[in-house]
Chain A
């Protein structure tokens, strides 16, 4: 009881809400690093996954990349990136950025690929038969059908990235992980606990809001489809992708 009291005290302490080391600034840092890494990962992974899926070549690569990605420990990636790039510019944001981008790419590639493969050949044929040009088929037919899967990949990546950004505090960057790492280092358990709660909350918010977006982008005609329902119920389709693999 006393411990919970100490954690509440920590949250109520006004000085923990101010300045560079305060909760708002640390939260902002966390979101900033995650968002920039996420955008970069999407910019690289979406075209790759969509192109591979569209042409149907290189599927083994698209699927295996997430298996390899899973085997790479995020902690090792971060530390190696730190050794490679040093602290560098942007307050030491470069090493965690590189590690987070590398971590974010595989699920997006795999899921975009699987989403594009989900498009029935008959549907493509029908679109072509209706006189749609290849580009139009891609934008009006294939991508809308693939979108829920693509979103599932983005969601998995985003949750991974937000979680791993916590570890970034180990090498250099601030973010919410700072509270955890410093709490552990100084054996200041109320701070450690507060940090863990904040990180946990942020991750859950990201997971649930992206799950909502995923539901929104699912075309009405696909909402009853069994495979999509499964995606929703089971969450991270990144792993169901590997089940198929």
Chain B
């Protein structure tokens, strides 16, 4: 996949800048695929987790099954889950995304339920007393108060997904993971190090941006200590 470089040299340094400058396009493409895979996975994860989380919160009987089922998905190692999907969806981006979305569900649903549970009963009472209908109360009172917990879930899901995307290199996707895998296969440290460092950097940037976003959309919680 990558253009040729001197490979497997015994004194191969950790980084070769000449290779790096010549392959900025490859690195950029890997980075943007990494971001794309992550955004799609977390986006779809949120779309699936919101209704499921609301349902699990509303209907107590469903809570156990929803959490256990997503918990089982979460426990299965990523490489195993991808492998189980290969006979069905092949070595494709679909396989990668199904796996990645599965891993976000437990984290997101759990934090949605925890956040909604934490809304104080007095607040609910007050809203009802002010004449809020259940739906309006949910969207204007309960969900906004659960945002810190939901956003914490989205942050954890995003950081986790960024790490897991590297594993999808084994099934032909991978984003920055493809640089790492390529470096391993060719015993060439430069792409390996660049892929690893950029992946960690991406996770930190994503986490900081999401926590910034959280401050913007919950102006009432500013001033209070929310680290």
Contacts and interface: CB of A to CB of B under 8 A. Distances in A.
A200 interface: yes
Interface in B119-177: 149, 152-153, 155-156, 159-160, 162-164, 166-167, 169-171, 177
A162 B77 contact: yes
A82 B189 CA distance: 11
Interface of B is mostly: helix
A71 B195 contact: no
Contact of B171 (A72, A75, A184, A242): A184
Contacts of B114: 230, 234, 240, 243
Interface string A198-238: 01100110010000000000000000000000100111100
Nearest to A192: B83
A236 B71 CA distance: 9
B67 A234 contact: yes
Nearest to A179: B83
A10 B74 CA distance: 27
B75 interface: yes
Contacts of B167: 73-75, 167
Contact of A71 (B81, B83, B183, B207): B207
A107 to B, nearest CB: 12
Nearest to A184: B170
Contact of B75 (A75, A171, A192, A203): A203
Given A170-B170, A230-B114, A193 B207 contact: no
Nearest to A226: B117
Interface residues of B, number: 53
Nearest to A243: B152
Given A235-B67, A243-B111, A79 B74 contact: no
Nearest to B79: A166
Contacts of A183: 83
Contacts of A236: 74, 106
B184 A204 contact: no
B76 interface: yes
A16 interface: no
Contact of A70 (B74, B160, B166, B227): B160
B192 A79 contact: yes
Give 5 closest A-B pairs by Cβ, nearest first: A163-B77, A76-B196, A71-B203, A196-B83, A73-B163
Given A73-B177, A235-B74, 12 more contacts: A67-B159, A72-B200, A75-B166, A79-B192, A167-B79, A180-B79, A189-B86, A196-B83, A199-B77, A203-B77, A235-B110, A236-B74
